[in-house]
Amino acid sequence: MPLLTFLSEEQVRRFSWVDDDEECNGLLQDLRVATGENWLVRVETWRHYPRSSWFFGLFAAAEPIIRREYRLYHDAHGEWQIMNLFNGAGGTAHHDDGKSREHVMNFMLGYLSATESAHAKLERLCG
């Protein structure tokens, strides 16, 4: 069963481009061109400041832990399908295993490869 969500026009504009990840952005743009469909990648960054044990943990440690999570969306004509990617452990990428970028990149590579292969086969058959 697909998981659908609504995204505002601002979110669609923002997720159409991956600013600080050239490799992911290039693959996203290639996928959009090859399929002729609208795909989005949402990147969220969290900073977690672990507490030190000194004085009941009231003072944060100097170095924050930075975590980035990637999500892939596909246009479902007014709504957006959140692609439910599976990780190597058999769970979904929504239960972040720290490798959400890898899951999104692998999916885009596979989809792009299959699309190009299908176009090549169609061209061979139709001449």
Say whether pLDDT at 90 is over 70. Answer: no
By the 8 A CB rule, do 73 and 40 touch?
yes
State pLDDT tens for residues 97-110.
Answer: 778 899 899 999 99
- Domain assignment present for residue 38? The answer is yes
Check whether 76 has a pLDDT greater than 90.
Answer: yes
User: What is the chain's alpha carbon radius of gyration, rounded to the nearest angstrom?
Assistant: 19
Given a cut of 60, whether residue 53 has pLDDT beyond it is no
Look at residue 127 and tell me if it is in a domain. no
115 belongs to a structural domain: yes
Number of domains in the chain: 1
Residue 113 falls inside a structural domain: yes
Reference 112, options 36, 21, 40; nearest CA is 36
Q: pLDDT tens-digit profile of 27-37?
A: 999 999 999 99
Q: Are 30 and 24 in contact (CB under 8 A)?
A: no
Q: Encode 40-54: b = buried (16+ Cβ within 10 Å), e = exposed.
A: bbbbeeeeeeeeeee
**Amino acid residing at 44:** E
Estimate the crossing angle of helix 100-126 against helix 22-35, to 10 degrees.
30
Domain ranges, residue 45: 3-52+60-122
